[in-house]
Amino acid sequence: MTILSNAAAPATVGLIGECMVELQQHADGGMRQTFGGDTLNTAVYLSRLCRCDGVVVDYLTAVGDDALSQAMRARWREEGVGDGQVRIVADRLPGLYMIQTDAQGERTFLYWRGESAARYCFDGSGADELLAALGDYQMLYLSGISLAILTVEGRQRLLDALRQARARGTRIVFDNNYRARLWPDAAHARAHYAELLGMVDIALVTWEDDVAVFDFETPEQLFNYYADQGVGEVIVKRGARSCLLQTADGRAEVLAEPVEQVVDTTAAGDAFSAGYLAGRLQGCDPQQAARWGHRLAGAVIQHPGALIPLNAMPSMPVLR
């Protein structure tokens, strides 16, 4: 069973967010520069997993007109991620972040993003074309970070456009990625999450993040809340532990695959989301799709940085 009603035509998926310049700090003090960002990571992995299956993956954001922004877009295209709906904000630059990892592979992030182009993606009349295009996609994916980085004006315009797109049949997927430093407080995040969840078809939820936003004490509370909001498919990600599912078929638990050596946990959750959606787009049921998510996340954390080499991509469990 696919998650889109018109399975005969190529699926069109738009991912909304911010791509940043990524600096990976090495033990000798050197730096490696690449690009990353939560929804961009998901877009790249989704494109890699679905490239042979007619799925069109676009990244929807704003960038500057500088050389780094141009190199960033060229990198997306190399990965099969379309940039035809990217807005150019001429007087802005990309955001930047640095990854520092400890001996256990756990990472610390340092960010420079306050004036990035993506923050102003949906502001002003220059955003009208991009906002109108949202309803042309069969599926739209965004995260808590996608919401948090926007201005007050841009965030509300995006929410209004998502509501209109869903009324036209677009399915909305939300990954709750919560970063406290991007919100005035948890109450602000909670209010905007709640507004969005009323439109969401699939929620990919990191347990610790929803605890921080909603003060849930048990998965039961989380599942009941999402059901009350009308979210039909909920996946709770719990790191190296099993993930939990709530769908029309009930609740289930899917074990994670063991990983011998964790090098860098950057983008593990983004990779899980990509694996899950790729599985669902290609006919997996939710439990099988969760296995795809676990498999990809397990491969990603065995390599440094957000995006692993193409030759490190794992084979996926066969469809059942």
Burial of 120 (C-beta count, 10 Å sphere; 0-12/13-18/19+): buried
171 and 202 Cβ atoms separated by less than 8 Å: yes
| 83 catalytic residue (yes or no) | no
Q: Which residue in the block uniquely carries the two structure tokens 């695959």?
A: 257
Residue 233 to residue 244: CA distance in whole angstroms: 11
Backbone angles phi, psi at 33, to 5 degrees: -105, 130
Element (H, E) at 247: strand 243-247
205 and 290 Cβ atoms separated by less than 8 Å: no
> What residues form DSSP beta bridges with 16?
60
Largest CA distance in the chain: 53
Choosing from 123, 249, 270, 285, the catalytic residue is: 270
Q: Given the DSSP bridges, would you call strands 250-254 and 202-206 parallel, antiparallel or unpaired?
A: unpaired
E strand spans, 48-129 = 56-60, 62-63, 81-82, 87-88, 96-101, 107-112
Alpha helices in the chain (DSSP H): 38-50, 67-78, 128-133, 144-148, 152-167, 186-197, 207-214, 219-228, 268-281, 286-300
113 and 63 Cβ atoms separated by less than 8 Å: no
List active site positions: 270
